[in-house]
Amino acid sequence: MMEIIPAIDLIGGQCVRLTEGDFAQQTTYDSNPLDVAKRFEANGIKRLHLVDLDGARAKKPVNLAVLESIAAHTKLTIDFGGGLQSDEAVKQAFDAGASQITAGSIAVREPEKVKAWLLKYGSEKIIIGADFKGTNIAISAWTEESKYPLQEFISGYVQTGAKLFICTDVSKDGKLQGPSTNTYRHLKLTLPDAGIIASGGVTTIDDLEQLQEIGVKGAIIGKAIYEGTIQLKDLQRFVC
């Protein structure tokens, strides 16, 4: 069964969404992320993708207090990302209540460090963030496009023991124009051992049905929930 994973992106402790990762294209949806998380849980949601956008810019966690609050007041399984550049930052995230962390830019820049995290915490605890533009990996809060091909990047980490990959199409994110279904289908066919979590562009229930048919491990949903193109009650058949 495909996991449904709503996203909460944090700036200044508030629930926001960006378009294509552009901080100049920001919409604030709720000043209390805990209330949002509780709404998700009340509708049967079990997972949460929590992104510290302030932390991504600062290169260190900034919104750990929000993580701590949601972890303490819900039973959601939280994966936390944004600014996790050091061993200490990863420890802080787990200590604050994260069940998993997402290694993004650091997985491109310092693969040896991330491999050490995989060994220390296990492949179920460390998710590799494979954000992409076109066919290449994007880094630095999506402001830079690397020369690292997406497929080669994921394949390399599979060989070192990673199992979970959040694959976000930056060009689709926040646009409500549908996900990169063909990319995910190709990744599933060519890298069957990679647990692909689709992210970016999910807009309708039909999008989710297509992703489930492909066999991705999970789908992250952000703006579609906040803008109402997907209703929380309609997700319940995916999370039973």
Positions marked catalytic: 9, 131
Task: Give me 81's structure tokens.
Answer: 């990302």
Burial class (CB in 10 A: 0-12, 13-18, 19+), 24: exposed
Task: Give me 65's structure tokens.
Answer: 């207090």
Three-state SS sequence of the chain = CCEEEEEEEEECCEEEEEECCEEEEEEEEECCHHHHHHHHHHCCCCEEEEEEHHHHHHCCCCCHHHHHHHHHHCCCEEEEECCCCCHHHHHHHHHCCCCEEEECHHHHHCHHHHHHHHHHHCCCCEEEEEEEECCEEEECCCCEEEEEEHHHHHHHHHHCCCCEEEEEECCCCCCCCCCCHHHHHHHHHHCCCCEEEEECCCCCHHHHHHHHHHCCCEEEECHHHHHCCCCHHHHHHHHC
Distance separating alpha carbons of residues 210 and 216, to the nearest angstrom: 10
